[in-house]
Amino acid sequence: MSSYVYKTTRRGVLLAKTVSYQVRLCSGNFRHLEVLKDENNVAIVTMKRAPVNSLNTELLTEISSVLTDLEETKCSGMILTSFSDKVFCSGLDIYEIFKSKPSAIGTSFSTLLEVFIKLYGSTFPTVAAITGHAPAGGCVLGLFCEYRIMVQNFKIGLNEDQLGFNAPSPIVKLMINTIGHRNAELALTSGRLFTTSQALQVGLVDEIAKDRTEAFEKADGFLRRFEMIPPLARNFTKQSMRRALLQDVTINREKYTEGFVSMISLHEVQQSIAAYLDNLKNKKRNAH
């Protein structure tokens, strides 16, 4: 069990280091996730793939499976977060897309799209409590949610261009929908990572929190907004606003996956990823 446990109040979620908690979701046996539910059927889904929650196929599959479960059990809201106070999610597992077989890259990407369809299209309200850095696929996971609360002094953004490949068109659209065309173009073409406060300024995140506890209080505050709204009406509106993107990804999932695999498999892209990994390792070495 993680050292952090979430203790629920009447309708709130308070983070506390305590040994008792409410209901654990028992439908799945997860290696990289902890899923807790409070008495109001709000789920707290915590990614715990140390050290940086990189999204490999196994973690993505677990997220996908939890989302199915939450739909089936008519969950009333979901908070997506990380076990780490430094990294929310470091994006796709680079080692799964570097020097890998096309089939493995395809499976990883296609599973990410599955998560997109289920999370972006979920019938229940979703909020990301971003407790640390959220580059690339980490930012994408946050964007799939309806609302983002981010702890101060971290970085978030779509830095794919820095790795030598571009974000696929549905992601570009998602970014445009969130921060507007001009900001999205400037950010995507330079692979920009925003600080938490810059992200708030452009609307990439909705609120800043000073720490994890405040992030949870604010996430709970967001979910409470819907207490008096009939869920059916709320969901109808959500689906109608998200339908075009959802249909695009659902219909063209295979096409997007093939496109991603071809792009990642290019020799130049693999070289860029290798250089990026060297850079990451050097940065770490120099920090010591």
| Residues within the interface to ligand L434P2JQ (CB under 6 A) | 51-52, 54, 86-87, 90-95, 112-113, 116, 133, 135-137, 140, 159-160, 163, 167-168, 170-171, 174, 245, 249, 280-281, 284
Residue from 25, 70, 92, 112 carrying the catalytic annotation: 92
- Nearest alpha-carbon partner for 131 in 60, 210, 32, 56: 210
Residue from 77, 91, 121, 137 carrying the catalytic annotation: 137
Q: How far is the CB of 261 from ligand L434P2JQ (least distance, A)?
A: 12
Q: Which is nearer to ligand L434P2JQ, 5 or 263 (CB)?
A: 263
Q: How far is the CB of 254 from ligand L434P2JQ (least distance, A)?
A: 13
Q: Which is nearer to ligand L434P2JQ, 77 or 157 (CB)?
A: 157
Active site residue 137: yes
Active site residue 132: no
Q: Which is nearer to ligand L434P2JQ, 76 or 122 (CB)?
A: 122
Residue 233 CA to its chain's centroid (Å): 25
- End-to-end C-alpha distance for the chain, whole angstroms: 31
Active site residue 159: yes
Active site residue 12: no
Q: How far is the CB of 23 from ligand L434P2JQ (least distance, A)?
A: 32
Residue from 159, 163, 223, 245 carrying the catalytic annotation: 159
Query: The tokens of 104 are what?
Result: 């493995």
Q: Which is nearer to ligand L434P2JQ, 25 or 167 (CB)?
A: 167
Q: How far is the CB of 145 from ligand L434P2JQ (least distance, A)?
A: 12
Give catalytic residues, as residue numbers.
92, 137, 159-160
